[in-house]
């Protein structure tokens, strides 16, 4: 099982790809950020997000995509742009036949740390520990995307246990 986790945005989009390596164990396959240049037109930035995600999906062949839901924005204009980027992200997943999971930040923190109000540093540390990543994950967005993917993995495990599989 390979899962692609996404921390949505339009200037920086975190991605994290994890693969099941045991009954409940996961390992990081790839992670980083898709960065779109500020000077590009917004539509061109959306196109770049879409094509880069398609490339990542074809390269790693995930079965699922997990995307963080929008939580709260003070700036409505930014929220609308992130929402549009999120739509492009979801479209890339659907068009590539991926199962789509969506999680709130609270759900992601709960799944990774056991505490829904965990600080960013706690999250990064737990993501690294769970996935066996030795060096510091440089990008907050990539760490968040790995956390979203882990949340999807946990969710699948819970669903299987509930079904008795």
> Would you name the residues annotated as active-site residues?
7, 68, 141
Could you give the angle at which helices 105-113 and 140-163 cross, rounded to 10 degrees? 70
DSSP 97-138: T-EEEEE-HHHHHHHHHS-TT--HHHHHHHHHHHHT--S---
Neighbours of 118 (CB within 10 A): 20
Measured distance CA(147)–CA(134) in Å, rounded: 16
Helices (H) and strands (E) in the chain, counts: 5, 5
């Amino acid at each position: 099982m390979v899962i692609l986790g996404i921390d949505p945005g339009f200037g920086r989009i975190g991605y994290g790809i994890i693969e099941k390596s045991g009954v409940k164990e996961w390992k990081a396959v790839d992670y980083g950020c898709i960065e779109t240049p500020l000077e590009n037109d917004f539509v061109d930035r959306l196109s770049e997000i879409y094509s880069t995600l398609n490339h990542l999906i074809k390269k790693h062949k995930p079965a699922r995509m997990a995307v963080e839901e929008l939580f709260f924005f003070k700036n409505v204009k930014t929220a609308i742009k992130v929402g549009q980027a999120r739509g492009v992200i979801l479209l890339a997943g659907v068009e590539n036949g991926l199962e789509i999971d969506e999680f709130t930040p609270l759900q992601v923190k709960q799944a990774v740390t056991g505490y829904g109000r965990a600080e960013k540093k706690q999250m990064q540390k737990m993501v690294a520990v769970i996935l066996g990543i030795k060096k510091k994950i440089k990008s907050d967005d990539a760490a968040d995307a790995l956390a979203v993917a882990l949340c999807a993995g946990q969710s699948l495990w819970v669903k299987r246990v509930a079904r008795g599989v």
